[in-house]
Structures are given as structure tokens and as C-alpha cells.
Structure 1
Amino acid sequence: MEYRIEDLTKEEAEYIGEKINEIVPREVDADEEEFVLKVEDENGVTIGGCFATAYSYHWSRMFLNELWVDERYRHQGIGSMILREVERIANEKDCRVVTLGTASYMARPFYEKHGYTVFTTIKTPNGYISYSLVKYLGRDTSEYQPTNNTGTRFKISLGNDDDAEVIDKGLDAYSEAYVHECETIGFNKKLVNNAGKFAAGVIAGAEKGESGSIDALFVEEPLRRKGLGTHLLKEAEKFAKENGASMVFTNAGDWNVGFFQKNGYLIRGELKDVPKGHDCYELYKMI
């Protein structure tokens, strides 16, 4: 191959993100927005909350990154209160759907009670089952009411980065009883020609001993269908395998899913009509 592989610079990684945003179909002109919600007790201590992202890829979608309630305050309606507020904000921002991820040792039944449905299921290397769920806002669904709502006496409000850290640590502490923390190693590479000019790039990584991920893959328009994307994909898979991963995950839309399928990836879930008029897929490959 007349190209060599080198490390991506920060600027090139940002360039890849910008170019992919140009390719991916848009629903809205709004930029991505992140927000934190927190629930405080009578003393102002954070006892629950979440952080979420709206408008990723300029889609009318809200992604619930994490939701956590302190163990001492569970089963009191706090999680339901947080979820309703996320959906209220999503509606306020004209988002059509809310999506999230959970696992078999976490809160799938809780989300299903609130009208969420599973669109992806897969057994992960750690032995647990990973789920992706979606709720299409505006559709007729009965609103779940917890039998114990004593937690609604607490205040819910917008939080900040410090609150997000409390939420993240709380969720990590809960998860430690089920899964061990893995070291995540990045694989951010590019192909350049003999003159050193950028031709293609991949943003990927691996959780040591677990799985790999392909987060972004881009090839300059004049150089497509020449094997550059496949070459970078295989290098990322090789890196994941060398770090003990047994499978690699990625996401694609109906505009590029065929590329991954040709390279041995299998569809593990389909998200209908996201973005509007298109479908998205979650894929995996055993390596």
C-alpha cells in the first residue's frame, strides 16, 4: 500500500468529526447539548441524578448517558422523577426519541415500566447482557406511577460537572460488584500518502480483556472504494485483539451499514426512523 499509518493529531480527530457530521443526515440545526440533573436531600447532598446529551449528529434524539440513585434512597420514586424530567426537557428541545443503554444487572425493568423498549441485546465478554432501549416521545404510552413516591419530596434541578462526577462515581461503585474496571486504550490512527497528506482516519479503542469499539472511520472522498477504510478497520480490530478483546462494537446508519457488513460485522439491533426517514444500527464482530 502506498500509504503509511501514523498517529492522529487532535486537530485531525476534530476534522474527522466535522466531515462525518457533513455526511450523516441531519434533522436539526442545533449543536449538541449536554446537561446534568441532580436530586438533593434536605442538606444539599446529591443523592441521585443523571447526565444526558441532546442533538448528537444534529438528530432530534436525547441520549441518557447515566442515571443513578443512592442505594439508601432507591424505590422511593426518585429514578422515575429524574426520568420524567429528562423526557420533559427532551420534549422542550423538540427531541423525538430518548435512547439509553443498560445491562442485565442494572435497571432494564425500570425503564420498560416507563415505556422504553429494547432494540439491541447482546451477551458481552463479562458474561452479562447489554441492552439498548428507546422511547418514541409523543406516542400513546401509559405513564408509570411508582407505589412509593416519598422521594418526590426532594428537589430536582440542573447540576454541574461536580454533580456529574458524583453521579458517575456512584454508578461505578454499584457496577463494581458485577464487573471489574477495564483499562481503556485509544487507537486513533490515520493513513497518509508518501507526501504526508491525510487520506483516512479511525478513532477506535479497546477495553483490555473485554471488547473493542470503532467510534469513527473516515476516508477522503476521492480515495474511497480503494481499501483504505478496510485497512484501518482491520488495524483497529488487530489492536483490540492484541489487548485481549474478543469482539468489536460499532454503530452505523443505512447510508454506511453495508461497508461494515462486507467486513464481517453483524447487526445486533436496529433503531427505526432515527434520524427521521433513516434507520440506525448497532453492530458487532467476533475477532
Structure 2
Amino acid sequence: MTDSPLEARLAYHLDLTFAEREALRWLERRERSFAPGEIVVREGEATDRLFVVASGWLHGSVMLPDGQRQILRFYFVGDVTATLSIAWARSAATLQAVSNVTLFEMPKEVFGRLFRQQPRLGALMYAVSVSEQVAMADRLTSVGRTDGVTRIATLLLDIRSRLRVIDGVDGASFALPLTQRDLGDAVGLTKTHVNRSLKVLEETGLVVRDGRMIRITDVERLSAMVGFNDRHGEIATDWLPPPGVQRAVLETQELT
């Protein structure tokens, strides 16, 4: 049986038990689809839901006092979205589809039951979430202290690193369905500056663009040039609790 999106995402870091895999599959039951540009949840909107990305790309953003948009992070297959809002009853950010998107919807209380029933999974998802927050902090540091070329390169390397975890392919080419405005809103640049920075990266020979395809020709060299740290490729799991004797699946009535 093919791994479910969240199952595949977590299995990259840990050999999951049958019970853990079944528990994750039970989370992915309520499916919703969104077209490019469609809003899933708005900043400040009441919400008691989380989503697992089954296909497509999304981003989470906030509106600044001057009316400009700041993209905080991107979401890919296997990611749990709206985690930026899990501590509150209202969304801390706007979640918007970048491409055609399919999501699995789950109430927060169902997500909470997973932590009680499968504590090792809960601990692993916490570790993954922390790694993503550190990666976001790295990018924000880049935004505040580096030039446009470094900001764009750091973002491309981060996207490549996260996609590599999802597809398991040790490559450096990927489709980028983001506009130059999206890239600019993620790293604090205008579209003109984004375009100029991409051209500079192409001139180095380290980044090649072909339509929406991006290829990084030398990941190690580009990473060294901009001081990029891969926060996604490896996560320590030696501290996780052992898999306990837990219920194999969440009860059907708990998901209704």
C-alpha cells in the first residue's frame, strides 16, 4: 500500500510501526480541494481545523501595517498546515493555495488525540515543527542582514531541501510554481529586485532556470556561498519515546 502523505513525510526520519502508520492514515479522511489563489483560511478567522497537504503548494502569510504581504512559509506534500495557529482559536496567518491543492482536514482535538495515543509520533512531529521554525528564523535572519542574491539563494536551497525530504530524490531540480511577487514577499524584495537577483545567480552558473524548472548545479558550493544550513535533511530521533502498545487506529466516531 502506498504511504499516505504525512506517513511518508515522517517515515523519512523514523521507521514507523504498523500502529503508527494506521493512526496517521486515520487522520487523512476528510478531503478538500482548492484552486490556485484560493484562500483556505484567512488571518484572524476563527478556526478549529488543521490540514495535511495531499498535493500541491500553499503559503502562509500576514498583512503588514503598510498593506504589504509577508509570506512566512511555504507548505508542501505531507506538511501539517495552520500549525502557526494551533495555539489560538483564530488563525495567525492566511493560508492560500499556490497551485491546485488537495488537503486532508482534521479538527484540532483529533490531532490532540494522536499525541495521547501515539506519543512517539507526537514527539517526532514536534521535532519536525521545531526544525521548520528554525529554518524560518534562518530565512528571516537572511532577510534582515543579507543582500537580495543571498536571500533568493537561501530560499531556493530551503525549498530544495524540503522537497527532497518529501520525494526522497537526491537531486537538485524542482518545479517552482511561485511568481516573482511570491518570492519577493517571502524575502522582502520587490519583483524587480527578485528578477535581478535570479539573473545574478544564473550568471554564476549555480542556478539554471528553464521556465518554471529550477536546477541548482552545485548545492554545496551555493550553500557555502550564502551560509545555508540544511534544517530538514536530518532530525535527531534518539530522544524519542519508544513505540508503546497503542490502539492501532483512531476510533471512527472520534473523527466525526
Q: TM-score, normalised by structure 2?
A: 0.24
Q: TM-score, normalised by structure 1?
A: 0.23
Structure 1 or 2: more strand by fraction = 1
Structure 1 or 2: more helix by fraction = 2
Q: Which has the higher contact order (CA 8 A, sep 6+)?
A: 2
